[in-house]
């Protein structure tokens, strides 16, 4: 008997990593999805919807996981979401080229007693490998509807939604559970009966799933069972069952359960999957002979990163120049249209001078994210982890740490979140402490500005040098921490190598859009607010010039520069007045107060203020310099540009620029990243990060400035 369907169907989209789940999620939801966090944790949650036939399908994209035996934070989130939220249907996305491994998770979903629909994804790749799957028969054997899909093409989407609706129309149909053999089933039935003896408890918790997990000696399941009115009896029954199983099979009960699952899967696959031909040539294996060669893997990895950054700067130079020209033109238009006064100063100096400078770097960010997305979609990221595994272990890091570290080149926040896939807390802490050394997209505008101003003939290589210094510092720091506060060995490294796949333009562009929009949104909100605040601090309080001050300054300049034309003396008098106004302002007073701490680094008060504002967001360093240097220091053809103003400042040398780039690299990350560190590791580690990176940044900046001064650099 069919039941009326709800108008809103809540679907948990789950599956193994590299099963094409994200691509299928995008095909199911299109542009109708949002990104947030799961309640209580900082793991990213993607939710989306699709309307069909007057009914709304609400999807939650669970983190990719191989099992629900919760060791990593991803596994905990996936398990707890299903237990607590109880979705209407679980759609398990299966890699059709490797069903034996993927069905292991699917069987665990069945044990929850929630309707499950299988999406046999990447069936095009399976067909290319000669793998023929009888989806209807496989669904009949497992008791789960199976639908063939190809995420990038949107193939099978309507059929998948039909299967979801059909599954919900038969609510009285008892879901088929995987069988574990007579020996285990006796223990499972006994525990399930005890758990189901309390109706209220059984309504809240899936009893068969709990019974199986108790046989696997799962601590979380034991804590849940302890809350049962007959908790002590259940605990004793579980102990007896485990003791009997281990005595009978001669091995750990968790291994026995795992072997029984795989036995059940092998039987189902043997009945329904046929390999009609095996390709004689595998492009993946051929490519990996070079890319994963023991001697070539690290050089290839270095060459890939070098190529990414070279392409970023080579291609991005042109649109970045166009944007700089556009904002310069816009500033001149606004300046001529508005009457003199505070409003004109706010718009031209505060908003266009600050935000415009940051927006100019958007093309670089877009290109960098595009290239990193290509590497991820092609399948190279996992290989980079394997290539660097041995090297990272030398420095006390886990091989899988390379994935968050590479994400750190884009943004520290998702990079910190990506560390949750590491199973050991020690490995997570060690990895998160390396991420601030990675030059994220927010630091890139600072590097490009200073390198372009003071090292114009070798700007790209100078920026890449800072990136390389960041990687070297991360490894040296990890080795130091490994031998002090983070003693212990990284856990063994196990990671799947997916086959190489041609990236889809839609998928890559979607990733680029999400990340670039976040950057642009920050420039239009956080950076805008910061620019206006810096403008206010540099404008107020307003200094009233003394009578005849301009004439006096012009006369002093003429006396010091005999023969100088009157217009040059007048221009200097105006610049001198503006500098005095700036020093009189709140920003000037703050800068003078903190100048003693920055003077050993070769910084004056203006550079100190810019460095200080970088704590909020690294891009703010550029907008702060844009506001502080709004007048320029000499009338040249470049005086309207920030690069020209910096070059013209006698207190700003190439050595100052290099030290400022190093401090931007090393000092504690932005507030958003610090908030993520606090959420992931707690207040203690947050305090450690702030103190450690402040001390390290100041120490390295001081050393470089002193050595550079002795060597005559800058």
Of 154-158, 176-180, 282-286, 451-455, where does mean pLDDT reach its minimum? 282-286
Q: Do both 109 and 59 map to the same domain?
A: yes
Model confidence at 515, pLDDT cuts 50, 70, 90, reads low
Is 707 part of a structural domain of the chain? yes
Q: Is 94 helix (H, G, I), strand (E, B) or coil?
A: strand
Q: Which residues contact 242 (CB under 8 A, 6 or more apart)?
A: 214, 215, 217, 253
Model confidence at 281, pLDDT cuts 50, 70, 90, reads low
Per-residue pLDDT, averaged over 625-632, amounts to 66
Q: Which residues contact 128 (CB under 8 A, 6 or more apart)?
A: 279
Q: Is the dihedral of CA 485, 677, 79, 398 positive or negative?
A: negative
Q: Do both 561 and 654 map to the same domain?
A: yes
Query: What was the pLDDT predicted at 632?
Result: 37
Per-residue pLDDT, averaged over 538-549, amounts to 84
Q: Do both 260 and 394 map to the same domain?
A: no
Q: Do both 241 and 151 map to the same domain?
A: no
| Helices (H), ranges, 227-378 | 231-249, 253-272, 283-291, 297-337, 342-345, 353-359, 362-378
Q: How far apart are CA 172 and CA 2, in angstroms?
A: 9
* 8 A C-beta contact, residue 590 and residue 601: no
Q: Do both 116 and 246 map to the same domain?
A: no
Q: Do both 73 and 210 map to the same domain?
A: no
User: What is the domain extent for residue 572?
Assistant: 537-672+701-711
* Mean pLDDT over the full length of the chain: 83
Is 503 part of a structural domain of the chain? no
Model confidence at 420, pLDDT cuts 50, 70, 90, reads confident
C-alpha 428 chain-centroid distance:
14
Q: Do both 117 and 226 map to the same domain?
A: no
pLDDT at 522 over 70: no
Does 40 sit behind a cis peptide bond, omega within 30 degrees of 0 on the bond before it?
no
Q: Do both 433 and 550 map to the same domain?
A: no
Q: What are the distances in angstroms from CA 360 to CA 70, 288, 310, 445, 618?
A: 45, 39, 18, 8, 15
Is 678 part of a structural domain of the chain? no
pLDDT at 419 over 70: yes
Q: Do both 456 and 318 map to the same domain?
A: yes
Any idea what the CATH number is for the domain that residue 238 is in? 1.10.287.1770
Is 524 part of a structural domain of the chain? no
pLDDT at 655 over 90: yes
Domain's final residue, options 116, 140, 168: 168
Number of domains in the chain: 4
For 454-472, the pLDDT digits (tens) are 998 888 889 989 999 999 9
pLDDT at 120 over 70: yes
pLDDT at 118 over 50: yes
Is 264 part of a structural domain of the chain? yes
Q: Do both 350 and 451 map to the same domain?
A: yes
Q: How far apart are CA 628 and CA 649, in angstroms?
A: 12
Domain's final residue, options 118, 145, 168: 168
Q: In what order do the strands lie in the sheet with 8-15?
A: 33-37, 44-52, 55-61, 8-15, 89-95, 116-121, 146-148
Query: What was the pLDDT predicted at 694?
Result: 95
By residue count, the chain amounts to 714
Is 502 part of a structural domain of the chain? no
Question: 């309080």: which residue's tokens?
Answer: 541
User: 150 or 635: which carries more pLDDT confidence?
Assistant: 150
Model confidence at 122, pLDDT cuts 50, 70, 90, reads very high
Query: What was the pLDDT predicted at 523?
Result: 60
Long-range contacts of 628-634 (CB under 8 A, 24+ apart): 628/534, 628/538, 628/582, 628/587, 630/348, 630/349, 630/353, 631/575, 631/578, 631/579, 632/575, 633/575, 634/571, 634/575
Query: What was the pLDDT predicted at 342?
Result: 81
Is 532 part of a structural domain of the chain? no
Q: Do both 14 and 76 map to the same domain?
A: yes
Domain's final residue, options 459, 482, 505: 482
Q: How far apart are CA 582 and CA 580, in angstroms?
A: 5
Q: Do both 162 and 196 map to the same domain?
A: no
Q: Is 131 helix (H, G, I), strand (E, B) or coil?
A: strand
| Helices (H), ranges, 420-491 | 425-432, 444-454, 459-482
Is 2 part of a structural domain of the chain? no
Model confidence at 635, pLDDT cuts 50, 70, 90, reads very low
């Amino acid at each position: 008997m069919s039941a009326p369907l709800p108008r809103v169907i809540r679907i948990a989209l789950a599956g193994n990593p590299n099963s094409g789940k994200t691509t299928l999620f995008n095909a199911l939801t299109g542009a109708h999805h949002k990104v947030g966090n799961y309640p209580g944790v900082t793991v990213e949650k993607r939710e989306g919807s699709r309307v069909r036939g007057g009914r709304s399908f609400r999807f939650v994209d669970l983190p990719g996981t191989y099992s629900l035996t919760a060791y990593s934070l991803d596994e905990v989130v996936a398990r707890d979401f299903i237990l607590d939220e109880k979705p209407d249907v679980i759609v398990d996305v299966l890699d059709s080229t490797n069903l034996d491994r993927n069905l292991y998770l699917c069987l665990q979903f069945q044990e929850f007693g929630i309707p499950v629909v299988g999406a046999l994804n990447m069936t095009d790749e399976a067909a290319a490998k000669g793998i023929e799957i009888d989806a209807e028969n496989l669904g009949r054997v497992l008791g789960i509807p199976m639908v063939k899909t190809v995420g990038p093409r949107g193939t099978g989407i309507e059929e998948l939604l039909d299967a979801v609706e059909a599954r919900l129309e038969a609510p009285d149909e008892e879901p088929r559970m995987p069988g574990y053999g007579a020996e285990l089933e006796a223990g499972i039935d006994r525990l399930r009966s005890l758990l189901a003896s309390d109706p209220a408890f059984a309504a809240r918790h899936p009893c068969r799933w709990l019974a199986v997990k108790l046989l696997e000696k799962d601590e979380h399941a034991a804590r849940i069972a302890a809350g049962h009115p007959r908790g002590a009896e259940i605990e004793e029954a579980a102990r007896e069952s485990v003791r009997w199983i281990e005595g009978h099979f001669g091995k750990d009960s968790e291994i026995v359960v795992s072997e029984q699952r795989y036995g059940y899967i092998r039987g189902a696959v043997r009945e329904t999957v046929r390999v009609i031909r095996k390709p004689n040539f595998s492009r993946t294996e051929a490519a990996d002979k070079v890319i994963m060669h023991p001697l070539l893997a690290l050089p290839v990895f270095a060459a890939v990163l070098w190529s990414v950054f070279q392409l970023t700067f080579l291609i991005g130079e042109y649109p970045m120049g166009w944007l700089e020209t556009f904002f310069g033109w816009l500033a001149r238009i606004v300046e001529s249209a508005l009457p003199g006064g505070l409003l004109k100063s706010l718009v031209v100096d505060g908003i266009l001078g600050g935000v415009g400078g940051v927006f100019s770097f958007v093309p670089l960010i877009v290109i960098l994210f595009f290239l990193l997305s290509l590497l991820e979609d092609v399948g190279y990221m996992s290989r980079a982890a394997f290539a660097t595994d041995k090297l990272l272990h030398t420095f006390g890091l886990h091989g899988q740490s390379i994935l968050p570290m590479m994400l750190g080149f884009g943004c520290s926040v998702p990079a910190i979140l990506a560390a949750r896939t590491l199973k050991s807390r020690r490995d997570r802490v060690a990895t998160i402490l390396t991420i601030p050394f990675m030059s994220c997209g927010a630091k890139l505008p600072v590097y490009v500005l200073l390198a372009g101003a003071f090292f114009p003939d070798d700007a790209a290589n100078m920026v890449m040098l800072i990136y390389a210094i960041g990687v070297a510092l991360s490894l040296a720091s990890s080795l130091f921490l490994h031998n002090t506060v983070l003693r212990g060995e990284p856990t063994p490294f196990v990671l799947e190598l997916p086959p190489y796949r041609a990236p889809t333009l839609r998928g890559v562009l979607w990733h680029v859009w999400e990340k670039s929009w976040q950057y642009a949104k920050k420039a239009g909100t956080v950076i805008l607010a910061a620019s206006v605040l810096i403008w206010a601090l540099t404008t107020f309080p307003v200094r009233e010039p003394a009578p005849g001050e301009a004439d006096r300054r012009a006369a002093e300049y003429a006396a010091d520069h005999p023969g100088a034309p009157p217009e040059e003396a007048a221009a200097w008098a105006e610049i001198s007045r503006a500098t005095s106004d700036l020093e009189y302002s709140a920003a000037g007073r703050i800068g003078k107060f903190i100048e003693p701490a920055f003077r050993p680094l070769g910084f004056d008060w203006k550079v100190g203020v810019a460095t200080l504002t970088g704590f909020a967001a690294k891009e703010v360093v550029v907008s702060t310099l844009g506001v502080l240097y709004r007048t320029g220091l000499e009338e040249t053809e470049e005086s309207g540009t920030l690069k020209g103003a910096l070059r013209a400042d006698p207190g700003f040398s190439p050595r100052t620029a290099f030290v400022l780039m190093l401090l931007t690299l090393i000092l504690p990350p932005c507030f958003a990243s610090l908030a993520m560190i606090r959420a992931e590791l707690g207040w203690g580690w947050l305090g450690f990060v702030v103190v450690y990176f402040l001390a390290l940044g100041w120490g390295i900046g001081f050393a470089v400035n002193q050595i550079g001064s002795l060597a005559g650099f800058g």
